[in-house]
Chains A and B, each alone.
Chain A
């Protein structure tokens, strides 16, 4: 999907914004910490109670997100292109939350009220006018991106769980039928909301390349106390209607292919996006050589090894190496996944794709980089602005 051309226009008559003054003003209110978003949301909900429905019960993460976004905006306000890209993403991303154009004015009014409240004697009419102009600019970029997005795809897809299979104690595989059909690139993810956990969205990667029947496969690992993962791994999930956000993520095969062989490193359910990529490679005329490492704590955690070994037997270009980190009795490779990968030699001529627990991914990336792999050869998931 082509990124829309950046269109940030000032209204003709408007005076240029005094960016230094805005920054200084923001720094002054920012020291109030959590009080700032707390005041903002309370002000918004009192003036517009109907907006409360769009948010989850607990607002803790929401408040952190608001401050993060403001910090990002204020710190990038110099580089208009970068800022515009961030805001466009934000605008598109908010469609699935049910944000409508009409909400933007309400949010702007509460934001100004909040800034005024915490600015104290420093709040002047000039500063108020600058903040108002800045917010209008932000809102116009966001709403325009949302409007463009609206022409191309729904805000969210209805996803019916047609099958679920508990592979291990804490990993389930879901098969979901999206309506309408969803186009995506192998390696991408969608945010999922379960009806039993309203307004809580978590990202999951599609675990297969797009299929003729349009079904999506997700690998869900039960996180201790994880509100959404608990709902999704429940045995009552069959026939549930989930909401799916639009496909996002850049953990996708480079195009055109640089012609290098592939190294895939998957920890636990990090396998999902890499399996989708594997299926995409399998459909190529001349697939590159692929080495897939699939790691888990115990042999039991290698929840998809059967199907991988089947592929391994069928595809001469594929090597699958399972590895287990916390069970020395395991018959195959043992040790931490980055260690196992490093033991298997020189990967500097490969393109690497990694997914899994973030410490594992970071460690593996550091090892590959120090072994001479260039930055643009290493691909990891980066949700950027839409990190759940």
Chain B
């Protein structure tokens, strides 16, 4: 049957038509909710198309069998009654159609999956960027507040007495912070480069495998 790839279990039955109920629409409006009714009509339509298709292919089959019987009676060949050339062709068309629809489904699934993954990656990236932005805003604001406080303190009070010892300690701390930030930056760079390398490596391998599969040596000669 041409309809072999349809899910047999999801087919509508006359019973379902009889017992189908729809939710009532919200207060103040009369009748059923529109969406479930539309959905149901869609299912009825699909079932209708299937029936029409089945009927057409059954009709074809009857016609062919009729012809075979007439031809078979004339020629006396029993085999030609069952397996005519036209039968074989229609059979082949059906098999190929089923295979094509299956392939289409695989492609559509892969596409949907890839779409979901990219979308998630994009949303995640937006989140990270937003968080980073908020964080940097916060840090900046804090720094501004401190600078303000320091300026106010400097204006109000006399400059704090700074002993040699205190100055040396402050310088040491500054040097430590500089080194720390250098080391941290180097780490971050190494990490980012590592990630980029693995992405590039991954893309290279993807490209190579695609070339092998979809773009083999005999591809070039086409058209």
Contacts and interface: CB of A to CB of B under 8 A. Distances in A.
A225 B215 contact: no
Contacts of B90: 117
A121 B56 CA distance: 9
Interface size of B as a range:
35 or more
A333 interface: no
B116 A225 contact: yes
A224 B56 contact: no
Interface in B37-69: 49, 52-53, 56, 59-60
Interface string B69-85: 00000000000000000
Given A224-B122, A225-B111, A58 B53 contact: no
B104 A60 contact: yes
Given A195-B215, A236-B206, 8 more contacts: A42-B100, A53-B223, A117-B56, A117-B90, A121-B59, A196-B211, A222-B118, A235-B199
Contact of A120 (B56, B116, B215): B56
Interface string A221-250: 010111100100011100000000000000
B153 interface: no
Interface in A312-343: none
Interface stretch (B9-17, B28-36, B91-99, B138-146): B91-99
Interface stretch (A27-35, A70-78, A180-188, A354-362): A27-35
Contact of B115 (A42, A198, A225): A225
Given A46-B89, A57-B107, A196 B114 contact: no
Interface string A346-367: 0000000000000000000000
Given A58-B107, A196-B210, A38 B97 contact: yes
Contacts of A170: 122
Contact of B223 (A43, A98, A227, A236): A98
A59 interface: yes
Contacts of B96: 42, 45-46
Interface string B173-189: 00000000000000000
B207 A196 contact: yes
A110 B158 CA distance: 98
Contacts of A236: 200, 203-204, 206-207
B219 interface: yes
A54 B108 contact: no
A118 interface: yes
Interface of B: 2, 49, 52-53, 56, 59-60, 89-90, 92-94, 96-97, 100-101, 103-104, 107-108, 111-119, 122, 125, 129, 199-200, 203-204, 206-207, 210-211, 214-215, 219, 222-223
Nearest to B94: A42
Interface of A: 31-33, 35, 38-39, 41-43, 45-46, 53-54, 57-60, 97-98, 117-118, 120-121, 169-170, 195-198, 222, 224-227, 230, 234-236, 300
Interface centre among A33, A38, A57, A118 (most CB of B within 10 A): A38
Nearest to A35: B53
A227 B52 contact: no
B223 A235 contact: no
Contacts of B60: 117, 120
A35 B117 CA distance: 32
Contacts of B108: 58, 60
B200 A235 contact: yes
Contacts of B53: 32-33, 35
A38 B96 CA distance: 9
B223 A54 contact: yes
**Residue among B97, B114, B118, B125 with the highest chain A CB neighbour number at 10 A:** B97
B49 A42 contact: no
Contacts of B223: 53-54, 97-98
Contacts of A227: 111
B104 to A, nearest CB: 5
A48 to B, nearest CB: 13
Contacts of B214: 196-198
B56 to A, nearest CB: 5
Contact of A43 (B93, B114, B199, B215): B93
Residue among B53, B100, B101, B114 with max Cβ neighbours from chain A (10 Å): B100
Contacts of A195: 211, 215
B115 A169 contact: no
A206 B90 CA distance: 46
5 nearest A-B residue pairs (beta carbon) = A225-B115, A98-B223, A58-B107, A42-B96, A42-B93
Contacts of B101: 38
A46 B92 contact: yes
